[in-house]
Amino acid sequence: MTTETQADLVAAEDVLLFFNAAVTATGQREFRSEAYRQRLSLDFLHEYVRVNYRRLYAAALALDINDHNAVRIVHGLLEHAGDASVEEKHTEGRLIAARLAGLPPQRVYRLFRGLRGAKVNNRRTRAIMRDWLAGRPDPAHDAVKYRAGLKTAVRHAHLRLNDGDVVPGRAPGDPRDTELGAFLFRPGRLPRYRHRLLDAWRRAHYEQGAVDELPFTVAEGFAARHGMEREAFLERMVPRMTRLERLRTQGQRGGAAPAGVVADVDLTVMPLTRLALYVLTLDSEARARDRAELSTALRAAARRAAGPLAGSWGRVAAVLDDSYSSSGSGEKRRRPLAVALACHFLLEVLAAPGAYTPLWTTGAKDPLLVRPWGPTPLGIRVLDALEHGPDRLVIVSDGWDNAPPGLAGEVLRVWRTRLDPDRRTAVVHLNPVYDADGFDVRRLSPSVPTAGIRDAEDLAALVEIAQFSEGRTGPAELYAYLDRQVARYVDDPSGGPR
């Protein structure tokens, strides 16, 4: 093996390790590690990969990494722009623009505040901020809902609101541009605003009726200031709530909500993993009572996520972790269990009709009633799954096999080396939990590919990426795959990461 080949293998392993972290880690507390350890681990990985593999570091923006790490990558690329060549800057700029367009606005504004705090103010950064702000559908809405963020971005990028830089298509001196600047930097100077939303914000300081005209998160603050009764306020705000705000409001109130708050939510259009999280917030009585509605919604979401792959995976067996550690942490409550539940419904659709076998670690038979409890007997469940002779075995677990410890790894080793050396059964381990101490997701066996997973919707793509960690494909194939993803993403961001 040549030195160059060895270097390529090391680079490929490093990139896969970083990808697993970027999918699963959010810098928050996990079941077995504190938040500060998560952040320290991520700090090291981001700097290491950016310095040594900048092109591949930027390419991660085209993959299904989570928003937290996407923002960190953008910040790192812009803060260290001097390390990139002209060609790299061009590609990075397109990747950054595409990724920012798909991020929630509050995350982008938080990124802009971070760039200002780090004193990153090069020409490319200002151009990216200007273009993103120019693409916002309603700057006045942002001024009301994200006032501090928009103000910071305008000031940092030296945007001239009065000349219409943020709202393209209007002539210089447009009154709305003028009053938008006054709203941000000289509040109270104008007796009234022509824009309905800006004036509603002004009136809401002394008029309760104006509160109903504001976005829900802004209206909440004014409602508290006016001492408005919570139940009545929620009922009045239903038309202005987003679907997630309605569900979040119900969750905050322990599953009870004013009439109409949840009734208007169409569960069948919710993303699969988010819907699974919502289901797990309900108590067992509510899940049993609404079984038909919840099952229909979960299967509809799974069919959307599967797309053309539905029914194409043949015989599928799944080992799904619902042990006590799947309860997650205070910051990520029941997230691992929600991912397993969502994967269950997705794998049911991906398998051939009637050819799917789910096996929960606790032995649960009803997926809608799963709850996190007990140890993690992965080895026993893997044995049970292999007895069915599946074409694919998918294991969704945090990898802490403890009943007895290490049995799953030994079972998989013997299966792969002695019983199935021809790999008639494809085995993959998907892990929703980042292991800060190992700088990666925890693995069950060196003979089985492991990939991090955050959303079940990414399952099919992650299974494809997992093959690169199995050693059956080389670094050249990995780099070619990344190049294809980047080219596809910058040409059509809507088809890239969610």
- Answer whether residue 60 shows pLDDT above 80: yes
92 near 58, Cβ under 8 Å? yes
CA pair distance 212, 329, nearest whole angstrom: 35
- Tell me what the mean pLDDT of segment 362-381 comes to: 95
Pick 268 or 308 by higher pLDDT: 308
- Tell me what the mean pLDDT of segment 285-293 comes to: 93
Mean pLDDT of the chain: 88
- Answer whether residue 414 shows pLDDT above 80: yes
14 near 52, Cβ under 8 Å? yes
Confidence of residue 450 (pLDDT cuts 50, 70, 90): very high
225 near 214, Cβ under 8 Å? no
Angle at 439 between CA 398 and CA 372, to 5 degrees: 20
Question: Exposed, middle or buried, 465 (CB in 10 Å: 0-12/13-18/19+)?
Answer: buried
Packing angle, helices 105-117 and 67-79, rounded to 10: 30
Confidence of residue 4 (pLDDT cuts 50, 70, 90): low
| Range in 117-121, 255-259, 450-454 with the lowest mean pLDDT | 255-259
Structure confidence at residue 255 (pLDDT): 47
- Tell me what the mean pLDDT of segment 32-46 comes to: 94
- Tell me what the mean pLDDT of segment 204-223 comes to: 93
- Tell me what the mean pLDDT of segment 335-357 comes to: 97
Structure confidence at residue 46 (pLDDT): 97
Nearest Cα to Cα of residue 104 among 132, 128, 131, 124: 132
Confidence of residue 460 (pLDDT cuts 50, 70, 90): very high
Nearest Cα to Cα of residue 16 among 488, 469, 490: 469
- Tell me what the mean pLDDT of segment 274-291 comes to: 93
- Answer whether residue 288 shows pLDDT above 90: yes
Contacts (Cβ under 8 Å, ≥6 apart) of 113: 148, 149, 152
Contacts (Cβ under 8 Å, ≥6 apart) of 46: 57, 69, 72, 73, 76
- Tell me what the mean pLDDT of segment 16-23 comes to: 94
- Answer whether residue 263 shows pLDDT above 70: no
Can you give the three-state secondary structure of the chain, one letter per residue? CCHHHHHHHHHHHHHHHHHHHHHHCCCCCCCCCCHHHHHHHHHHHHHHHHHHCHHHHHHHHHCCCCHHHHHHHHHHHHHCHHHCCHHHHHHHHHHHHHHHHHCCHHHHHHHHHHHHHCCCCCHHHHHHHHHHHHCCCCHHHHHHHCHHHHHHHHHHCCCCHHHCCCCCCCCCCCHHHHHHHHHHHCCCCCCCCCCHHHHHHHHCCCCHHHHHHCCHHHHHHHHHHHCCCHHHHHHHHHHHCCHHHHHHHHHHCCCCCCCCCCCCCCHHHCCHHHHHHHHHHCCHHHHHHCHHHHHHHHHHHHHHHHHHHCCCCCCEEEEECCCHHHHECCCCECHHHHHHHHHHHHHHHHCCCCCEEEEECCCCCCHHHCCCCCCCCHHHHHHHHHCCCCCEEEEECCCCCECCECHHHHHHHHHHHHHCCCCCCEEEEEECCEECCCCEECCCCCCCCEEECCCHHHHHHHHHHHHHHCCCCCHHHHHHHHHHHHHHHHHCHHHCCC
CA pair distance 150, 155, nearest whole angstrom: 8
Main-chain dihedrals φ then ψ at residue 34, nearest 5 degrees: -80, 165
- Answer whether residue 29 shows pLDDT above 50: yes
Q: Looking at the chain, how many residues does it have?
A: 498
Confidence of residue 425 (pLDDT cuts 50, 70, 90): very high
- Tell me what the mean pLDDT of segment 232-240 comes to: 86
Structure confidence at residue 252 (pLDDT): 55
- Answer whether residue 411 shows pLDDT above 50: yes
Block residue for tokens 């013997």: 414
Structure confidence at residue 495 (pLDDT): 60
- Answer whether residue 173 shows pLDDT above 50: no
Domains, the chain, ranges and CATH? 3-200 (no CATH), 204-265 (no CATH), 276-495 (3.40.50)
| pTM across the whole model | 0.88
Please report, in angstroms and rounded to a whole number, the separation of the first and last CA atoms in the chain. Answer: 40
- Answer whether residue 165 shows pLDDT above 50: no
Structure confidence at residue 477 (pLDDT): 84
Packing angle, helices 196-203 and 175-185, rounded to 10: 30
- Tell me what the mean pLDDT of segment 364-377 comes to: 95
Structure confidence at residue 6 (pLDDT): 73
| Range in 76-80, 177-181, 196-200, 216-220 with the lowest mean pLDDT | 177-181
